[in-house]
Amino acid sequence: MNHVNEDSPLRIGQTVPMFTARSTTGPFDLADYRGRWIMLFSHPADFTPVCTSEFVALAEAKEKFEALDCALVAVSIDSLYSHLAWIRMIYDMTGTKVDFPIVEDPTMEIARAYGMIGTNADDAGTVRSSYFIDPDGVLVASQTYPVTVGRSIPELLRLLSALQKVRDGDVFVPVDWQPGDPLLKIPAETAADIFAGEKSSDWFYSPVEDKR
């Protein structure tokens, strides 16, 4: 594994640590996903109510993530056999197959490398984090929730779409943006650009149509 500084959490703009591990889909190597978007997300434990609700919803939304060329990868400290038993129970309960990889992290090495938990933590009971990784392997956004609160799948998809819109560096995404809504121009940086606008605010606040 390529380690980051374990005294601080992984930060936006850093290249994420690569790792290999066992998963529910077979041997897993994060490096194999280079060139694609990835949402790497952790959960506190298998066989817990909030996590179960999330995994059902994420499995049902998998095609929406794939339409955005984003792979779903889950990780928790539970063993591979626990993961396998859990997803079978989920299938028996709901009819939903969780077929994205769920990685085991029994030593908490991955959780520590990503800054999900402190270096001296005894357990991962508070871990419910999501990491959005771009095709270059760079962290571009992250979220962390407490064990008692589940994530919002529509917000995860909205955030992913927004991150893809701004990747080329030519637009910003405004508040409450939804796919198809207007975007914002990058602010001007020269006097000529400032005086070229019709309004005094055009240089720093100018909505533009989303044409992509």
Catalytic residue annotation: 51
| Pairing verdict, β 70-76 and 37-42 | parallel
**Whole-number Å distance between alpha carbons of 64 and 167:** 19
**Whole-number Å distance between alpha carbons of 173 and 10:** 23
**Whole-number Å distance between alpha carbons of 17 and 139:** 10
Q: Which residues contact 59 (CB under 8 A, 6 or more apart)?
A: 90, 96, 97, 98, 99, 100
DSSP 31: G
